[in-house]
Amino acid sequence: MYTTLISAKALQEHLSDKNCLIVDCRFDLNDTSAGRRAYEEAHIPGAVYVHLDDDLSGTIIPGVTGRHPLPSIEKLTELFSLWGIDDNVQVIAYDDKGGGIASRLWWMLRWLGHQAVAVLDGGWPAWVAASYPVSNLPASLRPRMFTARPQADLQVDADIVDKIRTDPNFTVVDSRAAERYRGEVEPIDPVAGHIPGAINLPFPENLKSGTFLDAAQLKERFEKALAGKAPEQIVFYCGSGVTACHNILAYAHAGLGNAVLYPGSWSEWITDEKRDIARG
């Protein structure tokens, strides 16, 4: 069973496994149809395409939710069943952004109690570079019954974040680029800055040349920044609850356990003018 990362070589060896579901998560915030077009042109054989906005996010409520709110458990149960996920299925997710989108699906399945899910290390570029087979045929779905077992301790809401952000027993971690954390630029959301008390660990720093650092390097990175706190004392967020999952994946791959996600993240935090913001 693969629970964090899988190499292109290992995935290639499982292509014919009927209990392995491959999921193409390619997506571009600036062109939300680009991922689907790329999938239709070429993808890993047998992969099903999922769309960040349409499949992995719920309904946006202006002034209340962030940009990518979690879907309902009922919706996800229906989708995962349609795609063919049950307790016997190994799920492999990939994208072309170092796992920045695929890690969202990884986290969602873990949140609903499915442990056999991993992200393709290096994603689509690694697969193509290895000259492994590709296809332009749509996936043949084999529906199964997905059973959701929500793990409530894997996420927190804005009220909890507001309570713990200055508590020395907890660490809130902003996963965005340093210049966004500092509030110097904000290309997506209407307000710049970060949650006061949060530290910054940009998720791309988990990677080198498009693949994850090894487990020992990731462990060193997180332990140095997080001062030995337990995973339940660490809450990651980002712009909309997507790329923060990359940090949570890297943290788990380092053997450190299951850290916590604030799904609403910055784009939800700023919907309430009463919530403090920080810059610098």
Catalytic residues: 238
Query: DSSP for the chain?
Result: --SSEE-HHHHHTTTT-TTEEEEE----TTSTTHHHHHHHH-BSTTPEE--TTTTS-----TTTS-SSPPPPHHHHHHHHHHHT--TTPEEEEE-SSTTTTHHHHHHHHHHTT---EEEETTHHHHHHHTT---B-SPP------------GGGB--HHHHHHHTT-TT-EEEE-S-HHHHTTS--SSSSS--B-TT-EE--GGGGEETTEEPPHHHHHHHHHHHHTT--GGGEEEE-SSSSTHHHHHHHHHHTT----EE-TTHHHHHTTSTTS--B--
